[in-house]
Amino acid sequence: MSKYHNPGIETMDRDGLDSLIDERVRYTVGFAHKNSPFYRHWFKENGIDTDDIRVHEDLLQLPIVSGRTIREHQPPNTPDFQFLSTNWEDIFTIQETSGTSGTPKSFFLTWDDWKRYAEKYARSFVSQGFGSDDRVIVCASYGMNVGANTMTLAAHRLGMTIIPFGKCDFASRAITGYRPTAIVGSVFKLLRLAHRLKQEGICLNETSITRLVAGGESFADESRAYLAETWGCPVYNTYGSTEGTMCGECTELAGLHVPEDLVHLDIYDPQMKVFVSDGNYGRAVLTTLLPKGSKAGTLLLNYDTDDTTAVISRERCACGRTHMRIFNPQREAETVWILGNSVNRVDVEASVFQPENMQFLNGEYEAFIYDGGSTGEVVMRVSVECSDPEITDRRLIEDCFVGKFLKNKKNLVPHYEDRTFSVMFNFVNPGELELYKIRGRPKRLIDRRSV
């Protein structure tokens, strides 16, 4: 089995990789100026001479484009799709984002785009030990999002077999009959599947599953560890989007490798004003990189992903890959501010999935932020599902949760001690959380304050 999918690119030294990136920056900017109505106007409006953009550092001088920008430049706001960057006869598919934060963003993909997307996922699969002997159940939508189809194309390149259920509610006979070696899905889909299979008498440690791939949403290290323990196999992380990020974690579990030859990633401060140095958290801003001579249906320059991350390292990974590694990105939309401190859903999740807690909990949770009884007070109510609320050690769970949460959010400790910030708990039976009553992707951290 090959250690790399594209060894010449994946192990290229930093100088060579930077030179390739700069070459593709120049080509991509020129392609955008020639073919994209939006960027042609954008360059002119901002007084940008595209000949001045020679290296990837020059991108830091350009304005930021957001999802809102895309929506403002497509129907019904404009007669045409301003981000469409090639002729209609070149478009292979039209994709949309989920639209959870407004009108879905439209993306137009050429066959070249699909091949580049598949290349990114193929690299991730190989870095996680996949090969032609693998049979993989995909529990991701085969609809307007690109993830499942991209994985399927990548699998074709590697000779893998895909079992495209699309959801994790497939019958247990698929495990015992097809004997898959891996499953791709979100952490919570995979946990629910595990609980169901156990109820049906299947011993997870005795199945054919040798690895899991978690994606579709950010997650805490603690929930990943619990998932790995539950299934008795390693869990690898992938991070992808319709916009084309597609980063993958290798078997070293040392961060997500960014395919730097195909997408350039910068990290900006939360106010989106300055670039931050490696190791510091900020907003991930991506730029599509096109190889010379290729086309793109939609390309993005300096696009704010609305995700927060930090660069772990640009040094060679122990796996031999030289492409930079980043921390698991977190959604900005899943962040609330409590007394001047940012709290992400993952912070809550990490506190729920403490090992001591999981003897009583099934992992499902949700948290709500409320106004306190007096001005300036904040209450966080955490609801967790218990296997049996009657025998649950509630005090233990509360103490473990609060201890972990305040350890990660030290600036909230004084507020907790003077009771301007408090944590309440709600212990419920399986299936009783509010999130089950809401259609779409579950929201696990919701701000219900009046202001």
CA pseudo-torsion sign 311, 314, 316, 322: positive
Alpha carbons 27 and 413: distance in angstroms, whole number: 51
Predicted pLDDT at 124: 97
**φ/ψ (deg, to 5) at 194:** -60, -45
pLDDT band at 272 (very low <50, low <70, confident <90, very high): low
The DSSP-derived string for 15-51 is: HHHHHHHHHHHHHHHHHHHHH-HHHHHHHHHTT--GG
CB 25 within 8 A of CB 58: yes
Q: Is the pLDDT of residue 210 over 70?
A: yes
pLDDT digit string, tens, across residues 364-399:
999 999 999 898 999 999 999 999 989 999 999 999
pLDDT digit string, tens, across residues 156-177:
999 999 999 999 999 999 999 9
Q: Is the pLDDT of residue 249 over 70?
A: yes
Predicted pLDDT at 244: 84
Please calculate the CA angle 440-446-451 and round it to the nearest 5 degrees.
Answer: 130
Predicted pLDDT at 424: 97
Q: Per-residue pLDDT averaged across 418-443, rounded?
A: 91
Predicted pLDDT at 448: 95
Q: Which domains does the chain have, with CATH numbers?
A: 1-328 (3.40.50.12780), 334-447 (3.30.300)
Alpha carbons 85 and 82: distance in angstroms, whole number: 8
In this structure, the strands spanning 361-371 and 378-386 are: antiparallel
pLDDT band at 269 (very low <50, low <70, confident <90, very high): confident
Q: Is the pLDDT of residue 100 over 60?
A: no
Q: Is the pLDDT of residue 15 over 70?
A: yes
pLDDT digit string, tens, across residues 280-321:
999 999 999 999 999 999 999 999 999 999 999 999 999 999
CA pseudo-torsion sign 298, 164, 195, 442: positive
pLDDT band at 60 (very low <50, low <70, confident <90, very high): confident
With a pLDDT cut of 70, the percent of the chain lying above it is 98
Q: Per-residue pLDDT averaged across 135-143, rounded?
A: 93
Predicted pLDDT at 129: 96
**Residue 57, SS3 per DSSP:** helix
Q: Is the pLDDT of residue 135 over 80?
A: yes
SS3 content of the chain, % helix, strand, coil (to 5): 35, 25, 40
DSSP 128: T
CB 297 within 8 A of CB 107: yes
5-37 burial by CB neighbour count: b if 16+ within 10 A, else e?
beeebbbbeeeebbebbbbbbbbbbebbbebbe
With a pLDDT cut of 90, the percent of the chain lying above it is 86
Predicted pLDDT at 240: 85
What is the rounded average pLDDT for all residues in the chain?
A: 94
Q: Is the pLDDT of residue 411 over 80?
A: yes
Q: Which of 6, 63, 95, 5 is nearest to 287 (CA)?
A: 63
Predicted pLDDT at 141: 87
For residue 205, the one-letter residue type is N
pLDDT band at 197 (very low <50, low <70, confident <90, very high): very high
